[in-house]
Amino acid sequence: MTSIVFRADASPEIGAGHVMRCLALAKVLSGLGCKSVFAVSPQTPATVPALERAGHEIQIVDAAAEDSVKTLTRRFAEPVDWIVVDHYGIDAGTESMFRRLARNIMVIDDLADRPHDCDLLLDQGPGRKSDDYAGLVPAHADMLAGPGYALLDPAYGTYRDRNSPDESHRRAGIFVSFGATDPRNFTVRGLDALEGAALGGPVNVVLGAAAPNCEAVGTRLKSWGGEATLHIDTAEIIQLLADSRLAVGAGGVSALERCCCGVPSVIAVTADNQRATADGLRAAGAAELIDLDDIANASIAIADFAAQPDKLARKSVAGKLLCDGRGGRRVAMALMPERSANGAPVRLRPATTEDENRVLAWQQSPGARRFARNPDVPDATTHAAWMKKTLNDPEVRLNIIECERRDAGLVRLDRRPDRDSFPAFEVSILVAPDQHRAGIGKAGLALARRLVPGAVLLAAIHRDNSASLSLFHGAGYIADGDGYASWPAGASHDRLAAKGEIHG
Query: Domain containing 399 — which CATH number?
Result: 3.40.630.30
Query: Which residues fall within 8 angstroms of residue 87, CB to CB, at 6 or more apart?
Result: 7, 8, 9, 18
Rounded to an integer, what distance in angstroms lies between the CA atom of residue 169 and that of residue 152? 25
Flag whether the pTM goes above 0.85: yes
The pLDDT mean for the chain works out to: 93
Of 440, 425, 204, nearest to 326 (Cα)?
A: 425
pLDDT at 76 (0 to 100):
92
Bridge partners of residue 177, in order along the sequence: 206, 249
Domain count, the chain: 3
Q: What is the three-class DSSP state of 485?
A: strand
In a domain, 327, yes or no: no
In-domain check, residue 293: yes
CB within 8 Å of 501: residues ≥ 6 apart: none
Indicate whether 91 pLDDT > 60.
yes
Res 204 pLDDT > 80: yes
Rounded CA gap, 188 and 193, in Å? 9
Question: pLDDT of 131-165, one tens digit each?
Answer: 999 999 999 999 999 999 999 999 999 999 887 55
Identify whether residues 126 and 8 lie together within a single domain: yes
CB of 258 closer than 8 Å to CB of 241: yes
Domain assignment of residue 298, yes or no: yes
Query: Mapping DSSP to helix (H, G, I), strand (E, B) and coil, where does residue 201 land?
Result: coil
Same domain, 421 and 481: yes
**% of the chain beyond a pLDDT of 70:** 96
Tell me: pLDDT of 323 over 70: yes
Residue-level pLDDT at 164: 56
Choice between 290 and 127, residue whose per-residue pLDDT is larger? 290
167 pLDDT above the threshold of 60: no
Query: Is 331 part of a structural domain of the chain?
Result: no
Distances (CA, A) of 166 to 313, 338, 418: 9, 34, 16
Examine the domain organization and report whether 292 and 351 are in the same domain: no
Domain final residue pick, 145, 170, 204: 145
481/349 same-domain check:
yes
* Residue 502 scores a pLDDT above 80: no
Choice among 67-71, 135-139, 338-342 with the minimum mean pLDDT? 67-71
> Within this chain, do residues 416 and 354 fall inside the same structural domain, yes or no?
yes
pLDDT per residue as tens digits for the range 391-413:
999 999 999 999 999 999 999 99
Per-residue pLDDT at 245: 94
In a shared domain, residues 238 and 177: yes
- Measured between alpha carbons, how far is residue 202 from residues 60, 193, 205, 245 in Å? 41, 15, 10, 10
pLDDT at position 273 over 50:
yes
Residue 414 and residue 369 share a domain: yes
Average pLDDT over residues 313-318: 95
pLDDT at residue 87, as a whole number = 95
Q: How far apart are the C-alpha atoms of 39 and 5, rounded to whole Å?
A: 7
Choice between 169 and 52, residue whose per-residue pLDDT is larger:
52
Domain harbouring 83, CATH code:
3.40.50.11190
Q: Are residues 348 and 448 in the same domain?
A: yes
In this structure, the answer to whether residues 128 and 225 fall within a common structural domain is no
What whole-number percentage of the chain has pLDDT above 90?
A: 87
The residue count of the chain comes to 504
**Inside any domain, residue 504:** no
Q: Which of 115, 145, 175 is at the close of a domain?
A: 145
- Strand 265-267 and strand 228-232: pairing? unpaired
432 within some domain: yes
Is 329 a domain residue? no
Q: Are residues 210 and 353 in the same domain?
A: no
What integer is the mean pLDDT of 269-279?
90
- Same domain? 223 vs 307: yes
User: What's the CA gap between 457 and 120, in Å, rounded?
Assistant: 31
Q: How far apart are CA 79 and CA 73, in angstroms?
A: 8
Last residue of a domain, one of 145, 169, 195: 145
- Predicted pLDDT at 299: 98
Q: What is the pLDDT of residue 503?
A: 37
Across the range 169-174, mean pLDDT stands at 78
Q: Sign of the C-alpha dihedral, residues 412, 416, 422, 428?
A: negative
Candidates 496, 486, 493, 391; CA nearest to 442 is 486
Residue 384 CA to residue 399 CA, distance in Å, equals: 17
CATH code: domain of residue 287: 3.40.50.2000
State the pLDDT at residue 252. Answer: 87
Determine the structural domain holding residue 203 and report its residue range: 154-322
CA distance 456 to 487: 5
Shared domain check, 378 and 470: yes
Which whole-number Å values give the CA distances from 368 to 313, 361, 376, 384, in the listed order?
Answer: 37, 10, 10, 18
Specify if 332 maps to a domain: no
The pLDDT tens digits for 11-23 are: 999 999 999 999 9
Per-residue pLDDT tens digits for 418-459? 999 999 999 999 999 999 999 999 999 999 999 999 999 999
